[in-house]
């Protein structure tokens, strides 16, 4: 039976056994399933406090081993929400009042008339402490929730803000302060219209209009903002209305910095546009056979994308530039000498670079066009924004393709020149054979008619015959040359 859990457990500290019996009797009238533990010494109290599990404590003011205040203090240390009720004699009412001030939950006089109120006092005190505990727990949870909210508000990476219906900022978190570059005081003087840029202001006005009309605005939207130092920020924003007593008073927003993502998306679009231009140039590389026309077309195409483009082509030991009138510079010399791309920024130029002196506010890229370890030319590009690594890779690949095409055109031109030279050689060869054959026939006739010494005549005629044989061999070679010329002609025309 000792381990049974009673519905009610009460601790009583009173030296008078009659008072204890009277109190227990009254309590059992109200609480049928009651367990009472009696405290007769300080040691009994300490033992009870070790595994404290009581619904209420009743104590006399005067004890042989202490006072009721000692009991109150000890109980509150281990169980602050357990009610403690004082039993006191009629003459101790002043002490009872003082006890209430010190933290007792109630007091009951030890008279037969008043002791009847003890069960109700215990019951009410338990209910009171239960409510106090619930309120305390609610406050604790509220404080914890507020602390977590403050931590979330202050430590969130996203911008958190509140503004009124006029757009004035009424609250901002640390991320918003750092992101916009203003102090908390400065932001408090600004409105959302002070940080929005361009069409973003109209977009937010439309969203606020819908909010005022109680239309749902749950989908996030993107706005462009400016910071204190003039930087542009793309923010992805989600808002919700704030109501007080059913009245709309403001807007709470969460904004995420998506500038990097927007820049990446813009860079992808930009590179795709550049790739389309490079693809058009590759088509030209396949079709075009004239180097001048090809280079001029390349300059024209790249100029659709960049503010300034020059192309230099190596010809007869010199660099010829397009458009006509352009000329080389120190940055070109460095690219040709090193056979590597030269990248320049507006604040870091090569001394003597004429292109940079004209386009000093631009970023510059000088790419050598190299084929078979030979520099076929250079491509010089100026841009109003830094060149990305992907962009440089695309342009470097293009320069290699152009170098290959220029080399192919050069080979075709050399082949054509060789063909023309062969034609001239064949014609000269035919004329030379005719010029040899006619004097030779005359020599043979004169020998037969004029040379009387038969031995000498025979010797001369033998040599003439030998020369005639050589001429016939040359004739056959001429015919073979004609066949080769025809083959080259057909190859060239293809």
SS (H, E, C) 274-313: HHHHHHHHHHHHHHCCCHHHHHHHHHHHHCCCCCEEEEEE
Beta bridge partners of 62: 67
The number of domains in the chain is 4
pLDDT band (50, 70, 90) for residue 477: low
Tokens of 162: 């509140």
Q: What pLDDT score does 276 carry?
A: 95
Tokens of 141: 């949870």
Mean pLDDT, residues 387-398: 93
Shared domain check, 386 and 280: yes
Distance CA 334, CA 222 (A): 45
* Non-local CB neighbours of 161 within 8 Å, separated by 6+ positions: 169, 171, 172, 173, 176, 252, 253, 255
In sequence order, which ranges of 83-183 are alpha helices (DSSP H)?
Answer: 93-102, 118-155, 174-180
Asked whether the predicted pLDDT for residue 68 surpasses 50, the reply is yes
Q: pLDDT tens digit string along 302-311?
A: 999 999 898 9
Asked whether the predicted pLDDT for residue 193 surpasses 60, the reply is yes
Looking at 6-15, 149-158, 287-296, which range is the least confident one?
A: 149-158
User: What angle do the packed helices 93-102 and 68-78 form, to 10 degrees?
Assistant: 20
Distance CA 238, CA 255 (A): 6
pLDDT band (50, 70, 90) for residue 97: confident
Q: What pLDDT score does 61 carry?
A: 86
Judge whether 410 lies within some domain.
Answer: no
Judge whether 279 lies within some domain.
Answer: yes
| Residue in the block written with tokens 């609610």 | 138
Q: Mean pLDDT, the chain, as a whole number?
A: 83
Judge whether 109 lies within some domain.
Answer: yes
Comparing 273 with 427, the larger pLDDT belongs to 273
CATH code (residue 141) = 3.40.50.2300
Shared domain check, 314 and 355: yes
Q: What pLDDT score does 491 carry?
A: 57
Judge whether 333 lies within some domain.
Answer: yes
Last residue of a domain, one of 205, 223, 257: 257
User: What angle do the packed helices 259-287 and 389-450 form, to 10 degrees?
Assistant: 10
Shared domain check, 94 and 37: yes
DSSP 191: B
Shared domain check, 15 and 77: yes
CATH code (residue 371) = 3.30.450.40
- Report the relative pairing of strands 84-88 and 106-109 from DSSP bridges: parallel
Shared domain check, 103 and 132: yes
Distance CA 168, CA 191 (A): 4
Last residue of a domain, one of 227, 257, 287: 257
Question: Domain residues for 458?
Answer: 415-493
- Peptide bond just before 323 cis, omega within 30 deg: yes
Q: 65 in helix, strand or coil?
A: coil
Q: pTM, whole model, 2 decimals?
A: 0.54
Judge whether 151 lies within some domain.
Answer: no
Distance CA 161, CA 158 (A): 10
């Amino acid at each position: 039976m000792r381990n049974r859990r009673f519905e009610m457990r009460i601790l009583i500290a009173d030296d008078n056994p009659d008072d204890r019996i009277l109190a227990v009797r009254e309590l059992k009238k109200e609480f049928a399933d009651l367990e009472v533990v009696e405290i007769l010494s300080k040691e009994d109290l300490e033992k009870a406090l070790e595994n404290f599990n009581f619904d209420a404590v009743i104590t006399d003011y005067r004890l042989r081993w202490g006072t009721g205040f000692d009991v109150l203090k000890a109980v509150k240390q281990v169980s602050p929400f357990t009610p403690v009720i004082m039993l006191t004699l009629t003459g101790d009412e002043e002490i009872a009042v003082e006890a209430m001030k010190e933290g007792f939950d109630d007091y009951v006089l030890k008279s037969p008339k008043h002791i009847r109120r003890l069960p109700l006092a215990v019951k009410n005190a338990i209910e009171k402490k239960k409510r106090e505990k619930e309120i305390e727990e609610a406050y604790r949870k509220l404080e914890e929730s507020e602390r977590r909210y403050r931590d979330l508000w202050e430590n969130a990476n996203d911008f958190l803000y509140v503004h009124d219906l006029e757009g004035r900022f009424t609250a901002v978190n640390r991320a918003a302060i750092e992101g916009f570059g203003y102090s908390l005081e400065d932001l408090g003087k600004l409105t959302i219209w002070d940080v929005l840029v361009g069409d973003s202001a109209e977009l937010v006005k439309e969203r606020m209009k819908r909010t005022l009309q109680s239309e749902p605005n749950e989908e996030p939207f993107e706005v462009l903002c400016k910071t204190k130092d003039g930087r542009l920020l793309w923010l992805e924003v989600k808002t919700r209305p704030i109501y007080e007593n059913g009245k709309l008073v403001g807007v709470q927003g969460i904004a995420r910095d998506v500038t990097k993502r927007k820049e990446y998306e813009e860079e992808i679009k930009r590179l795709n546009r550049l790739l389309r231009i490079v693809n058009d140039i590759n088509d030209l590389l396949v079709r075009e056979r004239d180097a001048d026309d090809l280079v001029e077309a390349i300059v024209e195409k790249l100029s659709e994308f960049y503010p300034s483009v020059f192309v230099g082509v190596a010809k007869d030991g010199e660099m010829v530039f397009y458009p006509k009138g352009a000329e080389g510079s120190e940055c070109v010399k460095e690219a040709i000498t090193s056979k590597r791309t030269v990248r320049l920024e507006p604040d870091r130029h090569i001394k003597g670079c004429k292109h940079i002196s004209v386009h000093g506010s631009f970023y510059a890229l000088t790419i050598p066009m190299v084929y078979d370890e030979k520099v076929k030319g250079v491509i010089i590009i100026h841009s109003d924004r830094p060149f990305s690594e992907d962009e440089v890779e695309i342009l470097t690949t293009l320069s290699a393709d152009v170098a290959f095409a220029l080399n192919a055109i050069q080979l075709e031109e050399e082949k054509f020149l060789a063909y023309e030279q062969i034609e001239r050689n064949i014609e000269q060869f035919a004329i030379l054979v005719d010029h040899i054959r006619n004097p030779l026939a005359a020599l043979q006739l004169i020998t037969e008619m004029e040379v009387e010494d038969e031995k000498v005549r025979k010797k001369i005629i033998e040599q003439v015959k030998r020369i005639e044989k050589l001429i016939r061999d040359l004739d056959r070679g001429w015919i073979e040359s004609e066949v080769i010329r025809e083959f080259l002609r057909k190859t060239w025309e293809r």
